[in-house]
Amino acid sequence: MAEHNDLGKKGEKLAKEYLISEGYKLLYENWRLGRFEIDLVMQNDKNLIIVEVKTRNTMAFGPPESFVSKQQQLHLAEAVEGFFYKNPDINLEVRYDVVSVIIEEDTSKIMHFEDAFWPDNLSSFSIDI
């Protein structure tokens, strides 16, 4: 596996452990719909938390959370549409969070951004299930 994939997996693991320690319940990890993937699907009270994890080993190009593009937000929203289609028994409010992980040598820094974005332009969806 490429080094950046290893870094991403390590960041997702740290993010998952952090969220669980904060009282979130893990429902799914790396949930896929076609070419789209949701890193973590968590639950907190009556919210379905869609978590995008961004991991970097340096801040040289900016904070990891700044790399969640509008296109990626729309892809996540499309995946969520499919998630509810495939899980009709789940009736929760959706919230989109970003967890930023910076791993430098033997240290890591985790920042959790609740309700980080809400994908607009949702009327252009076409879901292939």
pLDDT mean values, one per 10 residues, the chain (129 residues): 74 96 97 93 95 82 75 90 94 94 88 88 44
Question: Would you put residue 45 in left (φ > 0), alpha (ψ -120 to 50) or beta?
Answer: left
Bridge partners, 98 (sequence order): 52, 113
Residue 60: per-residue pLDDT: 65
pLDDT score recorded for residue 65: 77
pLDDT at 118: 86
Q: What residues contact residue 115 under an 8 Å CB cut-off, 6+ apart?
A: 95, 96, 97
Q: For position 7, what pLDDT does the model report?
A: 84
19 touches 99 (CB < 8 A): yes
Separation between Cα atoms, residue 66 and residue 98, nearest integer Å: 10
Give the model's pLDDT for residue 128.
43
pLDDT number for residue 107: 87
User: Coil, strand, or helix at residue 32?
Assistant: strand
Nearest to 122 by CA among 68, 88, 75, 65: 75
pLDDT value at position 89?
A: 94
Q: What is the DSSP letter of 48?
A: E
